[in-house]
Structure 1
Amino acid sequence: MALTTTRRRALTTLGAALAGAVALPGATALASDRGRHPRPLWRAHAHNDYEHPRPLLDALDHRFGSVEADIHLVGDQLLVAHDPEDLDPARTLESLYLDPLAARVRAHHGRVHRGHRGSLQLLIDLKTEGASTYLELDRRLRRYKHLFTTYAHGRVFPGPVTAVVSGHRAARAPMEAQTVRHAFYDGRLADLGTSAPASFVPLISDNWTLNFTWRGEGAFPETERQKLRTIVQAAHSRGQKVRFWATPDMPGPARDALWGELVAADVDFLNTDDLSGLEAFLDAHALG
């Protein structure tokens, strides 16, 4: 859900990818860059990223490794917003994400986070009908194909950004029909153990509240802890990553306890609207 302005201010006040290789100029330059630039927080996922004052840029300033953009197909434009009433013709996928990412990758010599290997995950949530919205998205991504991890004829070629398509499930059919694409599909827990390979479904996402009763208060039931770890192990055994949305996000002990259990289970992405809060948590635990 989109945050209200009041809640966002409260979070700001109270708050403290697919890994892909890109071409490097040499090991010495890489070591030098790492010494100058803070390590990225690859586990950090900016939920509803476009609701922040500076979409994409605020998350990157907090070193996040994943950002989420909701898109609506309006005519031939892809507009970024959570709800139709918030649509603004000036807030396109290109203006908020694709153009800034292209400029950043050029400036950083092929990387999103300067001096660090890795692929930023761009989770694109389709809010309008999936097949038509995806086909328009595919046309846009092809214009920026140098940016994106690409699937071509059975092989995956890593890029500085990995687009993962979520939201409306009707996108799946046109994506599966492609022999070349610049995006991947966000699976659900029902996709675990199916024939869909990581080269199509690299990410398994699901609603925490529909699968677990624990909200971070009191002890984590052992049966639920084992369920969580079984999910992660099953995904990792197939080369897939795991993310849960709808986890507690108000600053406090409950959120920290739940984040701690996610980290202990090796969940790949922690979902938040509170950029500084998750950054502080991961830094305090020396986690990337």
Structure 2
Amino acid sequence: MTTISSAQEPGSAAAAHPQAHAHNDYLHERPLLDALDNGFRSVEADIFLVEGDLWVAHSTSELSAERTLKALYLDPLRQRMRSSAQADGSSDSFKSVEGDGLPVTLLIDLKSEGESTYRALNQLLSTYDDVFTHVDSEGVHRRGVTAIISGNRPIELVRTELPRFVGVDGRLGDLEGDYSADLMPLISDHWGRNFKWRGKGELPEADRQKLSLILERAHQQNRRVRFWATPDHPAAWTVLHNAGVDLINTDDLQGLNKFLQSQSK
């Protein structure tokens, strides 16, 4: 079983990679921290509502009372952010987790029933209003971490509730809708259901054009784009990176870190 590690001081030698997304981040030896130390600024956690608490796991068979969202992510994020602020003497309302001014995305996949899980999550995040971007009757309050829910998403409930401490992960079809970018800042979808390319050879021209149009439309709406179930190796990362996909999904933290470092040289 993965052990829970306390947050360490920010300032890893790894360059920041806003494009890097840690898929199923909680499966790594040090959830959150391994990703941050490899320069990632986006991580993903699956949660279940269990007896009023939010537990992190991929399936019900893996649930453990020790592996809560609070213990694995929320408290370490707050601790890391406070350490960063102390290191640079920041007193601004926006304090970044790593001291580099870049926000962190926490993508939270709701695995249990959507409305009840969202309500419990929103209530929990409200006790971390110094950490998480939120919306209330006065507008949007930017913080160092943006939470976005995926999975069983009660979109209309989230849309109407204030204060709101999460955004919603959209799908490609939502590019045709009227959701605001503050409500739906990210568009994610399954790679294989939308493109023929499977990671070998050149990206077909039809796929290239389709991907370009998706990115253009999403960016016009001030949304980022992510695909899951993408091939997870350097050739695929090259295609996604060169196309301008905003978040590259991976389970290989060190591999994507090295790849993105090589691209910046």
Deviation of the 1:37 alpha carbon: 6.0
In 2, the alpha carbon distance for the partners of 1:241 and 1:45 equals 12
Q: What's 2:108 paired with?
A: 124
1:62-120: per-residue Cα shift (whole Å, max 9, x none)?
A: 11010000000011110000010000001000000000111111110032112x11110
| 3-state DSSP of counterpart to 1:190 | helix
Q: What's 1:262 paired with?
A: 240
Q: What's 1:207 paired with?
A: 190
Q: What's 2:36 paired with?
A: 60
User: Contact conserved, 2:14 with 2:38, CA < 8 A, in 1?
Assistant: no
Aligned: 1:142 with 2:142? no
Task: Write the mapping of 1:45-194 to structure 2, written as runs, cut at 5 A.
Answer: 45-109=21-85, 110-114=95-99, 116-153=100-137, 155-169=139-153, 171-194=154-177
Deviation of the 1:43 alpha carbon: 0.5
Root-mean-square deviation over aligned CA pairs: 1.8
Aligned: 1:273 with 2:251? yes
| 3-state DSSP of counterpart to 2:183 | coil
Q: What's 1:220 paired with?
A: 203
Aligned: 1:230 with 2:213? yes
Q: TM-score, normalised by structure 1?
A: 0.83
Deviation of the 1:173 alpha carbon: 2.3
Aligned partner letter, 1:195: D
In 2, the alpha carbon distance for the partners of 1:194 and 1:155 equals 22
Report how many residues are paired.
248
Q: Aligned residues: percent identity? A: 48
| 3-state DSSP of counterpart to 1:72 | strand
User: Contact conserved, 2:15 with 2:261, CA < 8 A, in 1?
Assistant: no
In 2, the alpha carbon distance for the partners of 1:184 and 1:154 equals 17
Deviation of the 1:261 alpha carbon: 1.7
Write out the 4+ residue segments of structure 1 that deviate beyond 6 Å after TM superposition.
none
In 1, the alpha carbon distance for the partners of 2:257 and 2:14 equals 12
In 1, the alpha carbon distance for the partners of 2:186 and 2:255 equals 24
Aligned partner letter, 1:87: L
Q: Of 19, 22, 32, which residue of structure 2 is paired with 1:43? A: 19
Aligned partner letter, 2:255: G
Aligned partner letter, 1:63: G
In 2, the alpha carbon distance for the partners of 1:153 and 1:286 equals 41
Higher relative contact order (CA 8 A, sep 6+): 1
| 3-state DSSP of counterpart to 2:192 | helix
User: Contact conserved, 2:14 with 2:37, CA < 8 A, in 1?
Assistant: no
